[in-house]
Each structure stands twice: as structure tokens, then as C-alpha cells.
Structure 1
Amino acid sequence: MRAQPLPGARLIRDWNGHRYVVDVVENRFVMDGKPYRSLTAIALKITGAKWSGPRFFGL
């Protein structure tokens, strides 16, 4: 079982010269003020490719 980040956590990932900041809130993630249901959806948005969201963020 993989550990999930707790609400209040902040995930930071540098990708292609840009820093992405994701806030963990109850039952979702927020990046640039937009809510996402999963880290995988955020990784897809950032990279344009299918990634494991937790792996992309180093969890």
C-alpha cells in the first residue's frame, strides 16, 4: 500500500524549466487554482504523456 500525501501537504516538481506546485486538500489536489481528482491527471496536464502521478511527484 502506497502512502498518500495528507491534506495540507504541498508537492513541488520542476519540469522542463518550470516549477509546478500542487496543494493537497481534502479528496483532491489543486494546481494553479484548479482542482484535480488525481496526481496522475496533473502529471498528464504537465507532461502531455501518461505517467503515474505519485511516481512523477516522487512519492
Structure 2
Amino acid sequence: MALIAEAERWMGHINARNETSHSCDASKANAVFERIPGFLLDARDLLQRLINATA
């Protein structure tokens, strides 16, 4: 069973985080802010998969 359903999306989350940690650009920060709902869904999905894998 794969723990991460969409690896490409996770890489996008990681790249977005990396961009904002090295920049003070407001437009980049806003773009990352807009990703938060998708990240939250992916994080909840991962949590559920981890719970199911240990059950």
C-alpha cells in the first residue's frame, strides 16, 4: 500500500515551502497560501493511510 497517493502534488508542496523560506516575495507567499487547502487534504489523506497501515 502506498502511503502517498499523489507524489507530484507532495513535491509541489515541498517546493512551495522551499520557495517561501528563501524569499520575501509577496506574490510567492500568496501562491503558497493558496495551496494550503490542497495540502491539508493531502496531509489528512496521509494520516489516514498511516493509521490504516498500523491497524
Q: Normalising by structure 2, what TM-score?
A: 0.25
Which is strand-richer, 1 or 2? 1
The structure showing larger relative contact order (alpha-carbon pairs under 8 Å, at least 6 residues apart) is: 2
Q: Normalising by structure 1, what TM-score?
A: 0.24
Which is helix-richer, 1 or 2? 2
